[in-house]
Amino acid sequence: MVNENHIVLALIVNKQGLPFYWEVLPGCTADSTTINWLLETLKNKFHLEKIKEITFVFDRGMVSGDNLALLERDNIKYISAKDKNQIERITEMNFTALPDLNPKKINDDIDKLSGFKKINKNTYCKEIKVDGHRRYILCFNPQLFKDQRKAREQAIANFQIFVQNLNLELLEAKKSRQRKATYTKFKKRLEKIRLNGFVDVKLDIQHVFHKGKKIRTYQGTVEVDKSKRCLAGKKDGFWLLVTNHSEKQDQKFKLCAEEAIAPYREKEIIEEAFKEIKSFIKIEPVFVWTEDHVKAHYTICVLAYLINRTLTIRLHDNAGDKSGEIVANQKLFKESSKCKLNYLEVKNIKQKKFSLTKPTTKQKELLKRIGLSTLTNRKIVNIANDKSIYAE
- For residue 195, is it within any domain? yes
The pLDDT value given to residue 155: 95
pLDDT digits (tens, 9 = 90+) for 270-329: 888 888 999 889 888 888 888 899 999 999 999 999 999 999 999 999 998 999 999 989
Phi, psi angle pair for 388, to nearest 5°: 55, 50
Alpha helices in the chain (DSSP H): 31-46, 65-73, 87-91, 106-109, 142-171, 179-192, 226-232, 257-265, 268-279, 291-317, 329-336, 361-369, 378-386
* Assigned domain for 136 exists: no
Q: Which amino acid is at 284?
A: E
What's the rounded Cα separation, in Å, for the pair 276 and 274?
A: 5
Q: Does residue 337 lie within any of the structural domains?
A: yes
pLDDT of residue 45: 81
Q: Is 176 inside a domain boundary?
A: yes
Decide which of 191, 214, 232 is a domain's last residue.
232
Domain contains 370 = yes
Percent of the chain with pLDDT over 70: 94
Number of H helices, E strands in the chain: 13, 14
Residue 389 neighbours by CB under 8 Å, 6+ apart: 354
156 located within any domain = yes
Q: Which domain holds residue 376?
A: 329-386
**Coil, strand or helix: which one is 282?**
coil
Average pLDDT for 110-132: 89
- Inside any domain, residue 183: yes
pLDDT at 5: 57
Task: Judge whether 224 and 167 are in contact, CB under 8 Å.
Answer: no
Residue 167 lies in a domain: yes
Does residue 1 surpass a pLDDT of 70?
A: no
If we measure between CA atoms, which residue out of 34, 41, 39 comes closest to residue 75?
39
Listed residues 208, 232, 256: the one ending a domain: 232
Cα separation, 358 vs 364, whole angstroms: 10
pLDDT on residue 51: 66
Domain boundary among 215, 232, 249: 232
Nearest to 109 by CA among 158, 61, 68, 149: 149
For 340-368, what is the mean pLDDT?
Answer: 85
Give the count of domains, the chain.
2
